[in-house]
A = this chain, B = another copy of it.
Amino acid sequence: MTARTFSLAASLPLWLRHYQKAWLAGDLTAGLIVTVMLIPQSLAYALLAGLPPEVGLYASILPIVAYALLGSSMTLAVGPVAVASLMTASALAPLATAGTVEYAALAVQLSLLSGVMLLVFGALRLGFLAYFLSHPVISGFITGSAVVIAMGQLKHVLGVRAPSGSTWDTLVGLAHALPKTNVATLALGLGSLVFLIVARRYLARWLIAVGVTAKTADILAKLAPMAAVMVSTAVVAWLRLDMSAQVSVVGVVPQGLPHLGLALPGFTTLGQLWLPALLISLVGFVESVSVAQSLALKRQQRIAPDKELLGLGAANVVSALSGGYPVTGGFARSVVNFAAGAHTPLAGVVSAALMAVVIAFMTGAFYYLPHAVLAATIIVAVVSLVDFETLREAWHYDRADALSLMATALGVITMGVEVGILMGVALSLGVLVWRSSRPHMAVVGRVPGTEHFRNVARHAVETVPGLLALRVDESLFFANATALEDRIEDLLRADATVRRVLVVCSAVNQIDTTALGVLTAMEQSLSRRGITLELAEVKGPVMDRLQSTPLGQRLQGRVFQSVHAAFRPPPQQDSY
């Protein structure tokens, strides 16, 4: 690399430097439509996180701009999302009371910590962290979270006070509070629920039937929550249901742009928040990358996970800076953004600008917005996240994956999001090691008249007396090296005439230090018994490493390019 002089143009993101006029209409439209979706969502998710509504609005301005400058997705819509809001509530509940200034300050710290972690991961190029979670485990986690979120919103629909906490506490609290149900609230909440469900299921179809194009119909259907918010707010304001029927409403939302500023966390706070911040970062990153990836693929674009870390990290840092809370890429808004024609992150910048206008001048409009309707939009949004399809597929394709999915979902529901996600990571890795610890191995012989070698148990093949050729269908590492040793010793006990053990390494992509140790000990043990260990079809990178080890030295002249070469006497030829 050559030294570069700094220039403003070169430091701008690629999409901005090469912006084309033809993209502008799409970006403006998408920005507007996403804003209409974002307003109720940001209020609702702040409610879910236990924060005042304006915090949701704050988290929907600067983070979008930061991501637009640093992220790699053209269409990811960053901001408050359901799962991160739940994780925020779960992290802060033991530390402060929801709704207090202290609680909001901790949310800011959580966002800051999470942002710094993501930036550090990005600087260290740890984008591969996104792949520590298998898809079934993520699916189980999201499904479990959706159930927890939906149950937690029921009290708002009923218009009752009930403790939040474990699933069990929530259920008991709801049961106790049921007799105190506020009928007007329930009517608004249930009405919205029914409207939103019907809209989600049928609205697009009806619109198409009356002549709207499919794409427009899809987008219009996604705006149903805004319609529910507007109609219900109007009804409450008109009938003054907040006074006459004690319907709980959003109330005063402070008008004006957020103040910028930041207090750094103390050691106690760091100690309390590092783990939740890490988990929120990990989950948010995994979710964002998978949404961004699936959208990018539709236009032959690519996502750079290391740049995503930087983009999301910066988004969270500026969210903290502007009094927000942890943000990440949202699924539904990103899809709408894409479908509405967004070509570049300019669409996001447009949203951010519109949100700034809303918060600067229009927060008064939210006064009569009933909590029950926000809760209804959350419930409908998260219920669509419940994913039985992946469970069904995994059940048929791979039982171990299906079991990890169910265990993760149950873990989240019964023990909370943090324990649930940690269980998920442990299960992902556990299943991986368990599988690899039982590698497929086959004794092979030559298909007569060819240079092909197949499993002696399945094919009529020729073998050479005294030569045991064993193919290992897995990389050799700490979890399975002993299995190879066990298999060879079993085979040797079954056939005392064996004098040459040939390990066919065509599927061995790596040999780690542990496996190298096992092979070295095995070679010595075999050699004491007058048996030679030989290798065949060792891959280039594996051979390169092996050659400089004591085992590599001892094996000289006994590593064959092909099984065929090892079968031909004398074995000294054709070896390297």
Contact = CB atoms under 8 A, between A and B. Distances in A.
Contacts of A397: 513, 516, 545, 548-549
A528 to B, nearest CB: 8
A168 to B, nearest CB: 17
Nearest to A509: B473
B128 A438 contact: yes
A513 B394 contact: yes
A170 interface: no
A293 B431 CA distance: 25
Contacts of A135: 478, 513-514, 517
B131 A482 contact: yes
Given A128-B438, A529-B300, A512 B477 contact: no
A401 B438 CA distance: 22
A149 to B, nearest CB: 24
A510 interface: yes
Q: Size band of the A side of the interface? A: 35 or more
A438 B129 CA distance: 12
Interface in A477-511: 477-480, 482, 486, 489-490, 492-493, 506-507, 509-510
Given A131-B480, A397-B513, A432 B435 contact: no
A200 to B, nearest CB: 24
Contacts of A477: 134, 432
A541 interface: yes
A169 B423 CA distance: 34
Nearest to A426: B429
Nearest to A395: B513
Residue of A429, A522, A549 with most partner-chain B CB within 10 A? A429
Given A397-B545, A428-B478, A136 B440 contact: no
Contacts of A435: 510, 512
A525 interface: yes
Nearest to A137: B478
A239 interface: no
Interface in A501-554: 506-507, 509-510, 512-514, 516-517, 521-522, 525, 529, 539-541, 545, 548-549
B439 A509 contact: yes
A475 to B, nearest CB: 7
A437 B507 contact: no
Nearest to A528: B298
Nearest to A479: B131
A474 B509 contact: yes
A514 B400 CA distance: 12
A4 interface: no
B440 A525 contact: no
Contacts of A298: 525
Given A300-B493, A506-B507, A539-B473, A128 B393 contact: no
A429 B439 contact: no
A206 interface: no
Given A297-B521, A438-B128, A541-B440, A513 B393 contact: yes
A486 B489 CA distance: 42
B428 A128 contact: no
A513 B137 CA distance: 10
A19 interface: no
A18 interface: no
A202 interface: no
Interface in A127-141: 128, 130-136
A556 interface: no
Given A297-B521, A493-B300, A521-B297, A433 B132 contact: yes
Interface string A105-132: 0000000000000000000000010111
Given A300-B493, A438-B128, A512 B473 contact: no
B486 A302 contact: yes
A548 B136 CA distance: 19
A213 interface: no
Contacts of A433: 128, 131-132, 429, 432
B493 A134 contact: no
A294 interface: yes
B525 A478 contact: no
Contacts of A545: 397-398
Interface string A46-90: 000000000000000000000000000000000000000000000
A432 to B, nearest CB: 6
B489 A300 contact: yes
B134 A513 contact: yes
A128 B525 CA distance: 23
Given A473-B509, A475-B475, 14 more contacts: A128-B434, A130-B482, A131-B480, A134-B478, A293-B482, A297-B522, A300-B489, A394-B513, A401-B513, A432-B477, A435-B512, A440-B541, A458-B540, A506-B507
28 contacts: A128-B434, A128-B479, A131-B437, A132-B433, A134-B478, A134-B512, A134-B514, A297-B489, A297-B521, A297-B525, A302-B486, A390-B513, A394-B513, A396-B548, A397-B545, A397-B549, A398-B512, A398-B545, A429-B432, A429-B433, A432-B477, A432-B479, A436-B475, A440-B539, A440-B541, A473-B539, A474-B509, A507-B509
For the complex of A and B, the 6 pairs showing the least CB-CB separation, nearest first, are A134-B478, A135-B514, A401-B513, A131-B479, A128-B437, A473-B509
